[in-house]
């Protein structure tokens, strides 16, 4: 299975993602933002970081970089595109997934482990996962998901909410919402469910001695679903 | 020709920075404030002599990059 991780100026989770993808069997290539063409890929990942120093709005400049036209075309033709953290911010700026990510409600940079509840397993990312609650890591300043009322109705109607912030038992309540996201939303699909944007970092949970294994569960399942 | 654009958050979008600034101003003794909203201001020198053309270019920039229309409004405010 072939994957590509895009590196923008200021990306800093690109190599972590490369390590994670390779660990679980992807033949991964790093792709520079200034390239025109994506290599042949089964999965494209927009990694976390601070692309373009978060200037203007997080992800706004990266969303206009050269490679993104090729990524957008790939997504529109049904290709799997996953954006993590800053990658999620880039995805919303391209319009591939609806909504925006605002400053965290309490103006803090949040760096901690959180639990997320999967809402929809009828997609390549979560199909066949035998867990409903996963422990991932978040590290962001702008993860406060917001969308208009009309957009919220649309994403609910189309089952586009991918994951919610919750507690270890999967309870989705205000007190488990780290950043003020509308409805505790931590990740969103596009309508067709081939594009996934999420704030949590599965690539940081691939080693028990470092953090946890829920990222391993996610990646192992993902590559099996793509095969 | 210089064209300016002001980007403001839409009314129902939470502005935590504006809220904190409001609190700080309040603490400094500026008590007669009901709300503070923070925005962005751009001054763009366009190589164009026709004011309406220059404004149209900046409007296009606002729609495509400078503003995110899900949460922000923009206003082209002056030309020189």
Residues A94-107 have a mean pLDDT of 95
Residue ranges with strand state E in A85-132: 100-102, 110-118
Average pLDDT, chain B: 93
Domains of chain B by range and CATH?
Answer: 2-79 (3.30.1280.10)
Model-level ipTM above the cut of 0.90: no
pLDDT tens string A118-172? 988 999 999 999 999 999 999 999 999 999 999 999 999 999 999 999 999 999 9
- 3-state class (DSSP) for residue A214: helix
pLDDT reported for residue A211: 82
CB atoms within 10 A of CB A221: 19
Question: Is pLDDT above 90 for A209?
Answer: no
pLDDT tens string A14-53? 999 999 999 999 999 999 999 999 999 999 999 999 999 9
Q: Are A104 and B66 a contacting pair at CB < 8 A?
A: no
Q: Which two tokens stand for residue B22?
A: 């409001």
Q: Which of residues 16-75 of B touch A (CB under 8 A)?
A: 16-17, 20, 65-66, 68, 70-71
Question: What span, in angstroms and rounded, lies between the C-alpha atoms of A146 and A114?
Answer: 19
pLDDT reported for residue B16: 85
Average pLDDT, chain A: 96
Chain A: closest CA distance from residue B53 (Å): 24
Q: Closest-CA residue in chain A for B9?
A: A102
Pairing of strands A2-7, A27-32: parallel
Question: What span, in angstroms and rounded, lies between the C-alpha atoms of A45 and A29?
Answer: 10
- 3-state class (DSSP) for residue B59: helix
Q: Closest-CA residue in chain A for B66?
A: A56
pLDDT tens string A46-70? 999 999 999 999 999 999 999 999 9
Question: Is pLDDT above 80 for B79?
Answer: no
Chain B residues in contact with A100 by the CB 8 A cut-off are 68, 70-71
Confirm if B26 and B33 have CB atoms less than 8 A apart: yes
- Domain layout of chain A by residue ranges: 2-226
Residues with Cβ within 8 Å of residue B53, at least 6 apart in sequence: none
pLDDT reported for residue B80: 66
pLDDT reported for residue B12: 87
Sign of the CA dihedral with A45 first, then A49, A51, and A55 last: positive
Residues A190-197 have a mean pLDDT of 98
The top-level CATH class assigned to A2-226 is: alpha beta
pLDDT tens string B4-34? 999 999 998 988 889 999 999 999 999 899 9
- With vertex at residue B58, the alpha carbon angle to CA B52 and CA B60, rounded to the nearest 5 degrees, is 100
Question: Is pLDDT above 80 for B78?
Answer: no
The structure tokens 């590290």 sit at: A139
Sign of the CA dihedral with A59 first, then A195, A145, and A132 last: negative
* pLDDT interval class at B45 (50, 70, 90): very high
* pLDDT interval class at A210 (50, 70, 90): confident
């Amino acid at each position: 299975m072939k994957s590509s991780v895009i590196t923008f100026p200021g990306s800093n989770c690109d190599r972590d993602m490369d390590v994670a993808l390779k660990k679980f069997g992807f033949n991964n290539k790093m792709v520079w933002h200034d390239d025109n063409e994506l290599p042949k890929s089964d999965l494209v990942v927009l990694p976390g970081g601070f692309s373009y120093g978060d200037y203007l709005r997080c992800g706004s400049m990266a969303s206009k970089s050269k490679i993104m036209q090729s990524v957008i075309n790939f997504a529109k033709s049904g290709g799997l595109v996953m954006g993590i953290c800053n990658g999620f911010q880039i995805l919303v700026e391209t319009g591939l997934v609806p909504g925006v990510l605002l400053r965290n409600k309490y103006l803090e940079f949040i760096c901690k482990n959180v639990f997320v509840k999967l809402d929809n397993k009828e997609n390549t990312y979560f199909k066949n996962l035998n867990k409903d609650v996963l422990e991932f890591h978040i590290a962001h300043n702008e993860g406060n998901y917001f969308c208009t009322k009309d957009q919220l109705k649309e994403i609910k109607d189309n089952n586009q909410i991918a994951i919610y912030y919750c507690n270890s038992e999967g309870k989705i309540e205000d007190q488990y919402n780290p950043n003020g996201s509308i409805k505790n939303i931590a990740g969103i699909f596009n309508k067709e469910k081939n594009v996934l944007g999420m704030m949590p970092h599965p690539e940081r949970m691939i080693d028990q001695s470092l953090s946890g294994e829920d990222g391993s569960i996610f990646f192992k399942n993902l590559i099996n679903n793509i095969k | 020709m210089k064209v300016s654009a002001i980007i403001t958050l839409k009314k129902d979008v939470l502005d935590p920075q504006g809220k904190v600034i409001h609190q700080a101003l309040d603490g400094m003794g500026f008590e007669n404030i009901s709300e503070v909203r923070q925005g962005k201001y751009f001054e763009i020198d366009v190589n164009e002599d026709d004011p309406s053309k220059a404004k149209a270019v900046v409007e296009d920039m606002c729609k495509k990059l400078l503003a995110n229309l899900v949460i922000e409004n923009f206003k082209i405010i002056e030309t020189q």
